[in-house]
Every structure is written in C-alpha cells, then in structure tokens.
Structure 1
Amino acid sequence: MKSVSKAALAAAFMLGAPALLAASPALAQKKKEEAGQQIKLSEPFRKAAAEVETLVKAKDWAGAQPKLAGLDSLAQSDGEKYYAAVFRLQVTSGLNDMPGTMSAIDALLVNPNTPPADIGRYSYFRGNYAYQQKKYAEAITHLTKARQLGYAPADSNLNLRIAQAQLDGGQIPAGVASIDAAIKAEEAAGRKAPESWYKVVVSKLYTSGDKAGAATWLNRQLAVYPTADAWRSSLLIYLGQLEDKGVTLDADQRLDVLRLMRASKAMGGESDYLSYADVAQRRGLPGEVKAVIDEGRASGKVTKTNAAINQLYTTASAQEKAEVPLANEEKRAAGAAKGDVAMQTGDAYLGTRNYAKAVELYRLALQKGGVDTNVVNTRLGIALALSGQKAEAKTAFGAVTGTPRGEIAKFWTTWLDLPLA
C-alpha cells in the first residue's frame, strides 16, 4: 500500500485549521450561525492559545512546540481540548513528528467538537500510519471508518488500502472482497484496474493454500491483462492443482500444456525449455525438440553450455535424419485401416509447424477411427489455432471432454479469445 509522505501529511493538516481564537464578535457570531454552536474558552486558555496560534501562523514550529504542554494543562473543557489537539496536530506535522501527529489525531477522533467532515480525514491518516506500523487490525478499523464517512483520498483507492491491510493481516476472504469492490469501482468509472491488484490477490490466495481461488483470479487477470507472466502463472498453478489432487499428466497431456505455454510466450528459463524438449523427445518428435531449443537459444533463455539440452538437440538431430520422409507416412496413413498412423503423422507435422498438413492428417485420423478422439481433437484444435483458424479451432476444442483433457482444451479456447492470441 502506498504510504503518505510526511510532507503531504503536514500539508493536509495545514488546511482546515481552526479559526482565530481571538475572533471579533461579528466573526464569532458568523461562525456560531454556521456551526450551530460556539466553543467557549477560558481567558487563561485563550491567551495561551493565541500565543501558539501566532507561532503556528509564522510556521515557527520549534517555537510553538514547547508551549503545547502548557496549553494541554490549561485545557479543561472538550472545546479547549479540541483546540489544543488541533494546534498539536499542526505543530507536530510541521516538525515531521509522526508519533506526535498520530497522538493528536487520536485526541481529535474522540473529541465531540471535531467537525464530522474531519473525522473521515483523520481516520484515513490514522489507518494509513497504523498500516505502516504493521498494526493491521488497527489500520482496518480506522480505514473502514474513513470509508463509512465518505472520505475519498485524492492519491489512492481507499478500498484497496483496506484490502491490503486485510490481506497482510491474514483476513484473506475479506481482503479479496475489498479488492473485488475496488476493481468494480474502477470499472464503473470506466477505468481498468491495475494488473498489480489482481497479482496481489493471486499471490495471497496461492500462498494461503487456496489454489482454486488463485486460479479463478488468474482467469480474471488474464481476461484484462493477457500477459505472458499471467499465462505462465495460470498454467503453473493449474499443474500444481492437479498434483494436489493426485493427478499425474501423461507425456501427451503435458506436451499440450507446454505447447500453450510456448504459444502464449510464457516460457520462462532453461527448465521450461528442457522440460518441453524432453517430453517431445519421449513422444518421438525430434523436429519439435529442435524447434523449441532453437527458439530458446534465439531468445537468450537457453545457453549453448547447457549439457542436458545440448544432448537432447544432438539426439533429435540424428533421429530427424534417420526418419522416413513424412510424405511416405502420409501414404501409409491413407491406406491404413485405422487412424493411428494418421494421428502420429499429424503430430510430426504439428511439431514442425506445418499446420495445414497436421489438420489434414488429424481429420483423417478422426475419419478412420481407432484413436483417442479427445487427444486428436485437442491436437486438431492446436493446429487450427496456430494457423489462425479461430472458429474451427474452437469447434475442435469444444469436442474434447474429460479431465484433464477437457480442461487443457478450455485453456486453449481462452487463449484464442484473448487479445494476445
């Protein structure tokens, strides 16, 4: 949460200062009519306060500070205590004495003479200071009071400040609800909430163990900010959720998740590229192994000194040279009784980014049958999506059912619907 600078705090409290204590009868009568009441002051207090006020007007904070204790001792009524607290507020703000400023605010918050309009402002600053001191419960109390009184700080979103205090104080559901309210308020005003608001919710939910909640908020974040980082986080959290449920992805399923990570530009460091290349190698797709490693090297994310990746690349290069030409495999697929050869050939074409041929072979595989239609429709959707055939891709993905295949297809469909795609 953004803190309020001492300079800003001092400036805020220089505004709305009390009227001159030694006011003329006419001015006093005017203020009485405006306020509906007039604060009565004893002569000893009035005299001492007038001296402090003169120093405050001159911004002689060092000169005024020693006189505050005497003013406090003379203050007997609530009205006198109100003026004493206001002067203390101004002087301590001028001296950048934050503890002293907050002490004055505490006195003003309980004084019946404090104007209602000021209570919200004081509550806000008091809550902000409590948050900086990591006194989250106290911060929530004061900030919520400020919101109830309709105070709207010019430099921040009050709902977000409350949410941050709730989240950092361990009140996760309440904090999430407050950020949700802050986001909706921004949307109602025709603005887009900052991506950081979504990120803080995702982080808090994930670290608290609520991965399902984190995934839900990541989907919201993706809908507004379809960034590579958001995609990476979303897919990693999804994989973590599966592990928590005891679900282990097979090589084909993991490969299709990694393909989406690659398509959404969400590949991270060498570990991602190593994982991708390894699973593609195990699925017998040397062309895809080489392509993803080349891409990682070109981006600078994969170094040429990584022994494990270099070994995969060398092996894939040798396998690629030894492979039967795909044109021959196409003929074999066309003459086969079932669609398994067509599916395998489609996989090879997909790995080398020949999407038109991949689509053709996957459709042949579905026509001949004898294959896992969920796998083939996923791959058909991927080939169509990567070739820019959005409507056809969504139809293919829509035919995929079951867990986790259906979930993987939905992730791809989401990617198609977002601007980054």
Structure 2
Amino acid sequence: MSIRAKALLAAFLVTAAAPVPALAQAAPASSIPAPSKEARPALAALQKAVNENKTAEIPALSQAALAAAKTPADRYYAYQLQLKPAVASKNDDQLLAVLEGMLGTGLAQGADLANLSFNAAKINYNKGAADAAASAKAATQIEQALAADPNKSDYYLVLGELRNRQKRPAEAVAALQKAMALDQAAGKPVDQKVSDRALAFAYNARLPVARDLAVANLKAAPNPKNWRAAIKITEQVGNLPATDKVDLFRLQRATSSFEGEADYYPYVDVLMTRGLPGEAKAVLDEAFAAGKLDKNKPMWRDLYSSAVTRSAGDKSAPNGDVYLGRGDYAKAAAAYRADVAKGGAGADLANLRLGIALARSGDKAGATAALSAVKGTRSNIAQLWMMYLERSA
C-alpha cells in the first residue's frame, strides 16, 4: 500500500521565497549555527537561483554549495536551500536525498526533526515495497519522528503500515489504534479507511482484538458491510456450535448483510438439518426476490423444493424455535419464557432466543432484559442483537 504525501515542508530558515503549503514552520534562528565564511558565497549563489526560480542552474550550484561546506551547518543550509525545488520537481529520489542530507547533519531539532523524518519515512516506505533496505530506513525514520513528536496521528499511520510489512501485526494494529485515538481526541471523525485497515491486519493475523475492532466499526457506522464483518468474525472466533450460529445467521437476515452464496448456504443448511424448513423457505424466498441467489441454479432449486415439501408436511410439535422460524414472535416468546423459568443449562440459550423474538416483535424493554441476562459464550451473540435492538425503529 503506497502512502501518499499530503503536503511537504514549509520554508526553512534561509529560504526567502514563499513557503511550500502546509507543514512545520521554520526553526528559530538560534537553533542552527550561522554558515561559515567560506561557504557563504556558494550558499548565496544557490539561494539567488532558488529565489529567482532558475531551475537549470540549481543542480550545479547545489553541488558547489555542498563542496564549499566546511561545517554541518553549511551542509544543512546547502540541503535546505534545495528543499523547495526538490518538492516542486515531484521527484521522490531527489527529495529524499535532500531530506536525508538535512537529517544527516544531526542539526534538525523538535518539529523540524519530526517533519523531516516523517517525510523521509513516507518516501522510503513507498520505495520499500521492492527494497528491504528502504523499508528498514523508513522504520528508523518514523521512530525518530515519533520520538520528536509523539502526538501526530499521521506518524502512527506510517508506523502501522511499516509494522504490518515487517510481519508485526499486533504492533501494526496498535499503531493504527493510536492514530485513531489521537484524531478522536482532537475532535476529528475516525477515518473509516484506517479503521478498516486495522481490522484487516487483526483479522488476517487472527488476533483476538479483531472482534473488538469489528464491533467498534459497527458502532461508528452500522451499515450492512460492518454488520457482516462483526457477525462473521464473531462466528469464526467464538467456536460456536451450529445451533448457536443460526442466531448469528438470523441477525444477518435482520440486518440485510448477506453477500452471496457462501453466506446463505450455512444458514439454509442448518435450518434444514435442525428441522426448520419453513424458515429455510422464507429465507430463500427473500434471497430470490432480492436477486441475491439464482433460483434456477440446481443447488438452490433442489434446496428450495425440499424446503417447500417439508414445510408443507411439517407435523412437528410447535416449540419456540419453530415459532421463531415462522415469524410468530408472540408464541415464540411465550415458549422461551417457559424455558427460562425452568432454569438450568438451557437458560442462556432460552434468554438469547427470547431476546431475539422480542427484538423482532418490537418489544425493546423485554428484549433488553432477556439479552442482558445471557452469559458465557453466547454473550457475544447477545451483544450484537442488543446493538440491532438499539438501532431498530
């Protein structure tokens, strides 16, 4: 992933022309020693060419200024004067040479040190996709930037990408979380792209924090994409039996967050296996009507035919699950209340499904009480249904 520069480097001490937009201000005059007497003529000639935008003369005058340099301060000024034309050139190699030249003098301090290091790190990161040495330099430079200024969210974004490239996903996620926290503290909205990136790092590395990130994304933006991510990660990390997964699939149905066959099949399959063909038929009817599944595809055609036949001849004794599958939420709630009253090991499952039935019927108070009573491994499922409840009409 390439990191795009937003803007580069305001004018530094001896650049008399208008500053390049947007970053740190010039260092105070006392922070860098004055140039030596020997270097001043070459520096003055270079400054004149830069101020008058004589771009053809600048490369030779830059080399002359560096050749005349006797002190670190002389070299700093020689590179600093090249900064504006290097930015204007849009040549990353040229700009990197200038940035690293200034850093190499050891004279940059404070905000200037942070700013120079950050911009050098961005360029080296982009080069590092094909150059391990450049990536290593980028890591050193971004750490240097953060040491000089630990409160810039952009710095942590670069650090996060570098740590991910270095196969250090936990640190990558932590860096992106720090960036988001700094933006929030500054009153800025969380960047969804950054949040998605942190979630991708955590999910790909199977980090426990992945579910927390998915839920945070969902709270910030309860759209179908984020509902699906939170539901699927909860399913994958929860080691849930199929009988419990069906309650997550039902939440996908309620939030319209199915994406395709891979989402629909486990739901329909578990419904048919558990003897709930009426619910399977209803799910397939919705998917066909919405164009999410091809009803003429043999797999779905056969499943649908089986669901229709079995639901028409279903003589099973009604219970909470059957009523819930049929959408008869009042009868489902009554059955689950009876199960809750029995107590024992089945109370958590009964409370979960009581909460689902009440949530689907619009009884927020009752659903909240039931879902809040769910403990153990099913509590994560109850948490998501509670979020659905909070956002339902």
TM-score (norm 2): 0.83
Note if contact 1:227-1:420 (Cα within 8 Å) is conserved in structure 2. no
Distance 1:372 1:106, change over 3 A: closer
Unaligned runs of 5+ in 1: 21-32, 330-340
Residues 274-353 of structure 1 aligned to structure 2 (within 5 Å):
274-323=265-314, 341=317, 344-353=318-327
Q: How far is 1:288 from its partner?
A: 1.0
Give distance in 2, aligned partners of 1:113 and 1:183: 31
Aligned equivalents of 2:320 and 2:201: distance in 1? 42
TM-superposed deviation, 1:196: 2.6
1:173-202 Cα shifts (integer Å, max 9, x gaps): 333322222222222223331233232222
Distance 1:261 1:284 in 2: 20
Tell me by how many angstroms 1:257 deviates. Answer: 2.2
Alignment-derived partner of residue 49 in structure 1: 43
Q: Distance in 2 between matches of 1:253 and 1:116?
A: 55
Report which stretch shifted further, 380-389 or 165-174.
165-174
Which residue of the partner structure matches residue 181 of structure 1?
Answer: 178
Q: Distance in 1 between matches of 2:385 and 2:198?
A: 24
Alpha-carbon distance between aligned partners in 2 of 1:384 and 1:398, rounded to the nearest angstrom: 13
Give the Cα separation in 2 of the matches to 1:399 and 1:164: 41
- Aligned partners of 1:306, 1:202: CA distance in 2, in Å? 34
Shift of 1:363: 3.2
Q: 1:61 aligns to what SS in structure 2?
A: coil
The match for 1:63 is 57
Contact 2:172–2:201 (8 Å) recurs in 1: no
Q: In the alignment, residue 385 of structure 2 is paired with which amino acid?
A: W
Q: Does the 8 Å contact 2:76/2:105 carry over to 1?
A: yes
Greater displacement, 75-84 / 361-370: 361-370
Match of 1:147 in 2: 146
The SS at the match of 1:362 is: helix
Measure, in 2, the Cα distance between the counterparts of 1:37 and 1:263.
64
Answer yes or no: is 1:225 the counterpart of 2:221.
yes
Alpha-carbon distance in 1 for matches of 2:31, 2:336: 83
Q: Encode CA deviations 1:250-289: one digit per residue, 9 max, x unaligned.
A: 4x32322211221232212023222222221222222211
2:23 maps to which residue?
A: none
Amino acid corresponding to residue 91 of structure 2 in structure 1: D
Amino acid at match of 2:14: P
Is the Cα contact below 8 Å between 2:32 and 2:107 reproduced in 1? Answer: no
Q: 1:386 aligns with which of 360, 363, 368?
A: 360
1:34 is displaced (CA, Å) by 5.2
Are 1:35 and 2:30 counterparts? yes
1:241 aligns with 2:237: yes
After the TM superposition, which of the residue ranges 160-169 and 282-291 deviates more from structure 2?
160-169
Match of 1:333 in 2: none
| Percent identity over paired residues | 28
In 2, the alpha carbon distance for the partners of 1:113 and 1:366 equals 72
Q: Note the 1:79-98 alignment, pairs <5 A.
A: 79-98=73-92
Indicate how the Cα distance of structure 1 residues 66 and 393 shifts in structure 2: closer, same or farther if over 3 A, else same.
same
Give TM-score scaled by structure 1 length: 0.78
Give 1:4 shift. Answer: 1.1
Please, which of 167, 170, 176 is the counterpart of residue 170 of structure 1?
167
- 1:215 partnered with 2:211: yes
Distance in 2 of aligned mates of 1:152 and 1:401:
39
The answer on whether the counterparts of 1:378 and 1:409 sit within 8 Å (CA) in structure 2 is yes
Give the count of matched residue pairs: 376
1:335 corresponds to: none
Q: Can you list the C-alpha shifts for 1:59-102, whole angstroms capped at 9, x where unaligned?
A: 12122212322322222223322222223333433333322222
- The one-letter code of the counterpart of 1:131 is Y
Counterpart for residue 102 of structure 2: 108
* Partner Cα distance (1:392, 1:402) in 2: 20
User: 2:20 matched to which residue of 1?
Assistant: none
3-state SS of the aligned residue for 2:81?
Answer: helix
Q: 1:160: which partner in 2?
A: 157
Alpha-carbon distance in structure 2 between the residues aligned to 1:147 and 1:370: 55
Per the TM alignment, residue 207 of structure 1 is displaced from its structure 2 partner at its CA by: 1.8
Distance in 2, Cα, partners of 1:355 & 1:179: 43
